[in-house]
Amino acid sequence: MVRFVVMAAGLATRMGRDKLALPWKGGTVLGHVVGTVLQVIKMHQGQYSAGNLELYVIARQPLETYLSEAGAREFLEYGGVWKYSPSPRPLAETIGMGLLDLKDNLQSVAFIPGDQVGVSVQELAECLSEVFRYQPDFLVPMAGNTPGSPVFFHSRYVPELLALQGEQGGKVILNRYPERWLKYHVEESLFFDVDTPEQYQALIDLA
């Protein structure tokens, strides 16, 4: 079983507003990311047994803020779990929220930033297929020599993820074991995210 965790509980101080609620391709920034993961889950339902894919979202607003009525219905239909976290939390605590209620058959956990609008169904599905095929310690998307998200962590690293503190993130663990990375080469556009008004406008112009 693989769990996708969408990280959407940050403060977005550089944007000056809730960037995850900004319009994006007929919905919102976060709605696009969640919808992309759901499309991948739907694609794999016939390939892997039911229950082998999970989606957790850790967000500072209720799901109705970001998802349409139809989107929210689909999210719940496919077993999505929305963890509402209105108060600011250190990154390590947010990661911990994404690791609640893990099943015994967990293989890997993937963490995706809620503002990563560059994530595509095709590339995410290809990464997932590599994870099921090789069961790596870490599946790390690479654009040239640059690593990015989503990184898949094998379940054996859950204790180390839970031991993170403060603003420590998964990179702390990745950097301990660079020789264990399975690198999967992707287009640089996969890593596009929204951090500033200028970045958002530039991505709107490209879309």
pLDDT at 13 (0 to 100) = 57
pTM: 0.94
pLDDT digits (tens, 9 = 90+) for 61-96: 999 999 999 999 999 999 999 999 888 788 999 999
Say if residues 5 and 111 touch (Cβ distance below 8 Å). yes
Joined together, the tokens standing for residue 192 give 């596009």
Output the CA–CA distances (angstroms, integers) from residue 185 to 7, 18, 34, 84, in the order listed. Answer: 23, 31, 22, 33
Joined together, the tokens standing for residue 140 give 């790390």
Q: What is the mean pLDDT of residues 200-205?
A: 86
pLDDT at 144 (0 to 100) = 96
Q: What is the mean pLDDT of residues 32-43?
A: 95
Q: Which of 182, 194, 162, 22 is nearest to 93 (CA)?
A: 162
For residue 183, the cross-strand partners are 140
pLDDT digits (tens, 9 = 90+) for 139-167: 999 999 999 999 999 999 999 999 999 99
The number of C-alpha atoms within 13 Å of 127 and in the hemisphere containing its C-beta is: 34
